[in-house]
Amino acid sequence: MATPDLSRTTPCCQGVVPPYLLQRLASAPAERSARLDTAPSVASRTLALDDEMRRRRDSTRSTVSPTVPRSAVADRLQRTIADARNTQTLPGDVVRTEGGEPVGDPAADESYDGLGVTHALFAEVYGWSSLDGRGLPLDATVHYGEQYDNAFWDGTRMVFGDGDGEVFTRFTVSLSVIAHELAHGFTQYTSQLEYAGQSGALNESVSDVFGVLAEQRSRGQNAEDASWLVGEGLFLPDVQGSALRSMLAPGTAYDDDVLGKDPQPADMAGYVETTEDNGGVHINSGIPNRAFAEAAVALGGPAWDRLGQVWFDTLTSGTVTPTADFATFAAATVSAAITRYGSGSDVHRAVLGGWTTVGVEQTGSDASDEVSRRT
């Protein structure tokens, strides 16, 4: 397997919380943020820290070789949890290793459990060992920074902040967040979708897909019964919102006087052309997110089973290029559905229907036809 180009595929420090949400919080007028003491300043500090880490990575990407992972053992789960103790030093002090007893720190124990649930999804459902298919050890660091308002995958490990205590609680509280960030590693080792524009939005969407699938499987939920929320439980009670994103109903996850209204479009008619956030990778991810969720609900039953298998097959098939756009990816999922379940099968029809609902259509009747984008 070729060494991934981390500089192009890894969303370093572009955490699960979109920059546009943190910017909104950081710049909230005093009259709107009167109920908040520290959250706006924490959001500003988080944005500055993320920007600093991105610039540092950009300045060293041509001179630093990719980190060699610890010895992997296929099909064996290997977890290590470290504590940064509210510093910005990684990896931090190891506090729990594979097979160790809970340590009594919710963040450490939640991350340990979440890594295990995500590993189980890939291993038990798709026969894929860890993130790279070869038993890559899973590492995480908790208590990163002071009240850090984000969580991210840095190319080698998970990193979790504790939240500001007013808008966000600790980021390990949400299993979909843990699995979302780990899934960036899965994409890094498979399709290597570039983190910009539509391929970047697909990169984010793939993480949302496997994030909610890990959570739904852990809860034993069928597609029609699940919330389809990413980051449910992150917002503290005073926030008017249920999660960071809704896959089934993009644009409805929150509507708060400080944070504003969730800006994600639900279909291609609302596609956002922007240079912010690597070309709108977080905002436009709602479109392929909804395509998956609509297909899953139409199909019914466990979404991680047949439909999740189609997305997994697509990402590991070698047919999706790093610069794939929505149309190309949609065509690849349709082809994967036909290959595994047959032309005209309920899975094939559900996948077609999902993309059609969001304005990305399959043209013609043959699986090899091009997919066109309807606006």
Q: Is residue 164 assigned to a domain?
A: yes
Q: Which residues contact 364 (CB under 8 A, 6 or more apart)?
A: none
Is residue 118 predicted with pLDDT exceeding 80? yes
**Of the candidate ranges 51-65, 112-126, 198-212, 314-328, the one whose mean pLDDT is the lowest:** 51-65
- Residue 137: CA count within 13 A, CB half-sphere: 14
Claim to verify: residue 101 and residue 240 sit in the same structural domain: no
Claim to verify: residue 177 and residue 270 sit in the same structural domain: no
Q: Are 20 and 278 in contact (CB under 8 A)?
A: no
Claim to verify: residue 182 and residue 279 sit in the same structural domain: no
- pLDDT of 272-287, one tens digit each? 999 999 999 999 999 9
CA distance 297 to 2: 36
Claim to verify: residue 230 and residue 278 sit in the same structural domain: yes
* Catalytic residue list contains 181: yes
Instruction: Report the pLDDT averaged over residues 322-345.
Output: 96
Claim to verify: residue 176 and residue 258 sit in the same structural domain: no
Q: Is residue 260 assigned to a domain?
A: yes
Q: What is the DSSP letter of 354?
A: H
Q: Which residues contact 300 (CB under 8 A, 6 or more apart)?
A: 222, 223, 224
Q: CA Rg, the chain, in Å?
A: 20
Q: Is residue 210 assigned to a domain?
A: no
Q: Is residue 211 assigned to a domain?
A: no
Q: Is residue 246 assigned to a domain?
A: yes
- How far are the Cα atoms of 21, 227, 296 from residue 221, in angstroms, in the given order? 29, 9, 12
Q: Is residue 123 assigned to a domain?
A: yes
Q: Is residue 276 assigned to a domain?
A: yes
Quick one: tokens of 186? 């899965």
Given 189, 205, 229, the domain boundary residue is: 189
* Catalytic residue list contains 282: yes
Q: What is the pLDDT of residue 374?
A: 35
Claim to verify: residue 338 and residue 237 sit in the same structural domain: yes
Global pTM?
0.90
Q: Give the chain's domain count.
A: 2
How many CB atoms neighbour CB 219 within 10 A?
Answer: 11
Residue 182: name the closest of 145, 154, 148 by CA.
Answer: 154
Residue 16: name the closest of 202, 210, 231 by CA.
Answer: 231
Domain of residue 71 covers: 6-189
**DSSP output for 317-331:** SS-S-TT--HHHHHH
Claim to verify: residue 46 and residue 105 sit in the same structural domain: yes
Tally: H helices and E strands in the chain: 12, 11
Instruction: Give percent of the chain above pLDDT 70.
Output: 85
Residue in 143, 166, 180, 181 annotated catalytic: 181
Claim to verify: residue 345 and residue 251 sit in the same structural domain: yes
CA distance 139 to 78: 8
> In this structure, what CATH number is given to the domain that contains residue 246?
1.10.390.10
Residue in 119, 180, 184, 282 annotated catalytic: 282
Claim to verify: residue 253 and residue 139 sit in the same structural domain: no
- pLDDT of 152-209, one tens digit each? 999 999 999 999 999 999 999 999 999 999 999 999 999 999 999 999 999 999 999 9
Claim to verify: residue 180 and residue 258 sit in the same structural domain: no
CB-based burial label for 249 (10 Å; 0-12, 13-18, 19+): middle
Given 136, 165, 189, the domain boundary residue is: 189
Categorize the per-residue pLDDT at 370 as very low, low, confident or very high, splitting at 50, 70 and 90. very low
Burial 163-173 (b: 16+ CB within 10 A, else e): bbebbbbbbbb
Claim to verify: residue 347 and residue 234 sit in the same structural domain: yes
Q: What is the pLDDT of residue 14?
A: 64
Residue 207 Cα to chain centre, angstroms: 3
Q: Is residue 212 assigned to a domain?
A: no
